[in-house]
Amino acid sequence: NAGVTQTPKFQVLKTGQSMTLQCAQDMNHEYMSWYRQDPGMGLRLIHYSVGAGITDQGEVPNGYNVSRSTTEDFPLRLLSAAPSQTSVYFCASSYRGYNEKLFFGSGTQLSVL
Amino acid sequence: RKEVEQDPGPFNVPEGATVAFNCTYSNSASQSFFWYRQDCRKEPKLLMSVYSSGNEDGRFTAQLNRASQYISLLIRDSKLSDSATYLCAVNGKGGGADGLTFGKGTHLIIQP
């Protein structure tokens, strides 16, 4: 099993550009989430989903959109990139919810110039 | 008090020693507690869940103190390979489906 797959691994954007970070899992997990990790700030929850068609905001949702059209995929869209969105982004999933073991993808290093 | 707090370290510990660190949390309604390990430039991986009665997995022991609202991780007979950042995670606001709140991590360096 591939587990949680994130693409791309690295991305450089200019301010104002938009892009989508891809996340896919092949473990039939209901729960998927996006975190960002910044030096000195730890992991912060951006958005999460408890199943296909259901999404909700986490701690830092501004500037990001998500959708969950299938159980497997949970893309994160940056609408108009800003330098403050420079970060490492992790997608994570678990079988039913956040209170179970979270499986993380390998991360996307995003730089916004 | 911040939601989840950890001493960032680094903790410099000789190989074979025992090391312990704590993580405090502010939400008394929290029900789920975890320790994750993160190697440099890698994704976090679950080390162990923390149960009310405490639990052990090999050289690792996790404890929960609800009265004082902290969890702890004890590592015995530390190995060089234990060098990593240890993140505690606690379920978030009101115990709902918000997701986990992570501490900023404690950096552990095991020295030969």
- Are the CB atoms for A28 and A71 separated by under 8 Å? yes
Q: Is B42 on the interface with A (CB under 8 A)?
A: yes
Mean pLDDT for chain B overall: 91
Q: For residue A49, list chain B residues with Cβ-Cβ distance below 8 A.
A: none
Q: Do B97 and A101 touch (CB under 8 A)?
A: no
Check residue B6 and give its pLDDT. 95
pLDDT at B95: 39
Task: Give the three-class secondary structure for B93.
Answer: helix
Which tokens in the block code for residue B70? 């902290």
Per-residue pLDDT tens for A82-98?
Answer: 999 999 999 999 987 76
Per residue in A33-77, pLDDT tens? Answer: 999 999 888 899 999 999 999 999 988 999 999 999 999 999 999
Out of B34, B99, B102, name the one closest to residue A42 (CB).
B102
- What confidence category does residue B94 fall into, taking pLDDT thresholds of 50, 70 and 90? very low
Residue A58 and residue A92: Cα distance in Å, rounded? 13
Contact A56 B97 (CB under 8 A): yes
From chain A, pick out residues whose CB is under 8 angstroms from the CB of B87.
Answer: 42-43
Q: Tokens 């115990």 — which residue?
A: B95
From residue B23, give the alpha-carbon distance in Å to each of B10, B62, B85.
15, 11, 13
Residue showing tokens 């000195």 = A40
Going by pLDDT thresholds of 50, 70 and 90, the confidence category of residue A10 is: very high
Chain A positions touching B31 (Cβ under 8 A) are 99
